[in-house]
Structure 1
Amino acid sequence: MEYASGGEVFDYLVAHGRMKEKEARVKFRQIVSSVQYCHQKHVVHRDLKAENLLLDADMNIKIADFGFSNEYSPGQRLDTFCGSPPYAAPELFQGKKYEGPEVDVWSLGVILYTLVSGSLPFDGQNLKELRERVLRGKYRIPFYMSTDCEALLKRMLVLNPAKRHSLDAVMKDKWMNIGFEDSPL
């Protein structure tokens, strides 16, 4: 892997605060495109978070830490709770089996929220409180967030994984392609 001199996206957000949606869109398109490549190879990451997104010297995203990644086959279920609790899908907290891509989509929704707001959509004083908040699926929409970004989040942070946007649907979403009409994902 090439050296990522820009450090973690998490540290970037701590130092600079939230990103404007235009900048967040550029970064998020890179992240989604990379995860889509993994899914096409039947690999699910299972630990997508701001700390595992690195920036190179040109501020391009590199996904790191594939330690929890796993191969998956459509129709077969995984059952290991992997990843970081603030980014974990509700089905993981419930101990349910999952195919794989849907838990990455949830984590991507948390990442998008974090890029645009500078904070996590779900938090708690302890794991029990965090779990309860994730399982309720309620989060605050900042006043400065566009309605298009909010609409995309509401399709990604869906409690029922069967109703959650697929990665293909995320890639085709209106918000994702604003300013990229000539080069859709």
Structure 2
Amino acid sequence: FLFLEMCSGGELFERVSDGGQLSERAARPIAKGIAEALRHCLSRGVVHRNVGLENVMLSAEDPSAIKLIDFGLACTPVLQYDCVGSTSYMAPELFFASEGYHAPPVDCWAYGVLVFSLLAGFFPFEEAKASDWRFAKLAQSVDSGIGPCDAIYRMHNRSCPFSPAAREFCDALLVIDANARATIEQCLEHPWLS
């Protein structure tokens, strides 16, 4: 016999695909719960490496309860050399995995894509590599001093509707340079989550 916890609220992906973007007020507790789950994992020496809307389960009985699932690609926070994860959430450094990368920033990038998708109702790009024109345009815009959220929305000829705090939060996670990317600890201290 195998006894498993039931997450009657379904996947977070279903909530976004069925209802579209979430308001900042609705997205904030979910984003905070995921950040706390990632901090807990890291405190136990585990990096998830497959963070995404599909791997967050919800509870119908307790809307504030979130469950991070699918630890099949998890590892310890040491230098890694394998390219893993779901394409839309993969950090840029994963596409050069043979050169080695540190795993915790990979979770932070994926978390940034997840939060952006919650607030926007769409993914920022398909792959974080130069062959994806949206990512290439993002990199070019960031190099010219435009923040990631503004750059992504400009590709759609729209202005970013996020509050300044939410924009700052996502911008700090969607940093191409893994060494300059916000950490989960910094996210939990950010005013947007408090």
TM-score range, shorter chain: 0.7 to 0.9
Q: Relative to structure 1, is the Cα distance of residues 51 and 172 closer, same or farther in structure 2, using a 3 angstrom cutoff? A: same
So what's the TM-score if we normalise by structure 2?
0.82
Quote the residue 1:166 is aligned against: 183
Contact 1:38–1:44, Cα closer than 8 Å, also in 2: yes
Quote the residue 2:84 is aligned against: 82
Contact 1:8–1:55, Cα closer than 8 Å, also in 2: yes
Contact 1:86–1:130, Cα closer than 8 Å, also in 2: no
Counterparts of 1:139-178 in structure 2, within 5 Å, are 139-141=151-153, 143-177=160-194
Counterparts of 1:58-69 in structure 2, within 5 Å, are 58-59=62-63, 60-69=65-74
Contact 2:47–2:103, Cα closer than 8 Å, also in 1: yes
Counterparts of 1:114-125 in structure 2, within 5 Å, are 114-123=117-126
Cα deviation, residue 166, structure 1? 1.2
Counterparts of 1:1-185 in structure 2, within 5 Å, are 1-57=4-60, 58-59=62-63, 60-72=65-77, 76-95=78-97, 96-123=99-126, 129-130=131-132, 133=135, 136=139, 139-141=151-153, 143-177=160-194
Q: Relative to structure 1, is the Cα distance of residues 132 and 119 closer, same or farther in structure 2, using a 3 angstrom cutoff? A: closer
Contact 1:77–1:100, Cα closer than 8 Å, also in 2: yes
Letter in 2 for 1:67: G
Rounded to whole Å, the distance in 1 between the matches of 2:24 and 2:102 is 31
Cα deviation, residue 132, structure 1? 7.0
Cα deviation, residue 131, structure 1? 8.1
Letter in 2 for 1:144: P
Deviations 1:19-60 (A, max 9, x none): 100110010000000010000011000000001111112222
Contact 1:123–1:130, Cα closer than 8 Å, also in 2: yes
- Report which stretch shifted further, 166-175 or 135-144: 135-144
Partner of 1:54, secondary structure, is strand
Contact 2:51–2:89, Cα closer than 8 Å, also in 1: yes
Letter in 2 for 1:83: G
Partner of 1:44, secondary structure, is coil
Rounded to whole Å, the distance in 2 between the matches of 1:122 and 1:31 is 21
Q: Which runs of 5+ in 2 are unaligned?
A: 143-147, 154-158
Contact 2:172–2:181, Cα closer than 8 Å, also in 1: yes
Partner of 2:67, secondary structure, is strand
Partner of 1:67, secondary structure, is coil
Count of residues in correspondence between the two structures: 172
Q: Which runs of 5+ in 1 are unaligned?
A: 178-185
Letter in 2 for 1:91: E
So what's the TM-score if we normalise by structure 1?
0.85
